[in-house]
A = this chain, B = another copy of it.
Amino acid sequence: MGTRASIPDIVIGRLPIYLRALGRMIQEEREYTSSHELGERLGISSAQIRKDLSHFGEFGKQGTGYNVQYLYEQIRHILKVDHEWPMAVVGVGDLGRAIAHYRGFQARGFRVAALFDADPKLLGERVGNLTVLPMDQLAAETQRLGIRIAMIAVPAAEAQAVADRLIEAGVTALLNYAPISLAVPEGVHVQYIDPAAHLQHMTFYLTP
């Protein structure tokens, strides 16, 4: 195929996993891999990997497999992480700080470019190489920096209000760490990080 035509969202969700594995293979200086090997590493069937990739083009060679570096670049391009996205973090508590200090985003296409908090005591404080800004500078600063993505790290009770302000400021992708589902207009994307939910998923299978 190679042309889009509404590619299943679940397929898009697996591409970052493939990318992650390919990144490690590059570190290991592996030059070629196969759908079978990738599948083994990820616990996914080789057929699924080939099928997923076939939505976007033909990246492999029969008999040989995939050139690791080439496939890596292709998926980076598909996911649009072949350039760096600046992001805002709202809420500079324990979690917001850990995120702001985290060095791992850079290699995956992201950079924390602005920090916001409502607490006057935090304003002006430096975290990493950034200064914590007040919420009333949110719109101006995100627009100035071309920020389209934000991470929400405020208490659950505040998360919807913060999301609304971010969306008003032009942010269209939200990664929400607060344990609450957000209501957002069409065209705004939301993803959730809820460790307690993952834990509860696993306890179902544990014997008490």
**Residues on A close to B: CB < 8 A?**
12-13, 15-17, 19-21, 24, 41-43, 78-81, 83, 85, 87, 94-95, 97-99, 101-102, 104-105, 108-110, 148-149, 151, 156, 172-173, 175, 179-181, 183, 189, 191-206, 208
Contacts and interface: CB of A to CB of B under 8 A. Distances in A.
A20 B204 contact: no
Contact of A194 (B16, B87, B99, B202): B16
B173 A199 contact: yes
Nearest to A82: B208
Which one of A99, A105, A109, A198 has the highest number of Cβ atoms from chain B below 10 Å of its Cβ?
A198
Contacts of A172: 206
Given A17-B181, A175-B195, A208 B80 contact: yes
A42 B201 contact: no
A172 B194 CA distance: 20
Contacts of A198: 16, 175, 191-193
Contacts of A17: 181, 197
A20 B79 contact: no
A15 B205 CA distance: 13
A202 B173 contact: yes
A83 to B, nearest CB: 8
A202 B181 contact: no
Nearest to A41: B181
A19 B206 contact: no
A110 B81 CA distance: 36
Contacts of A110: 196, 199
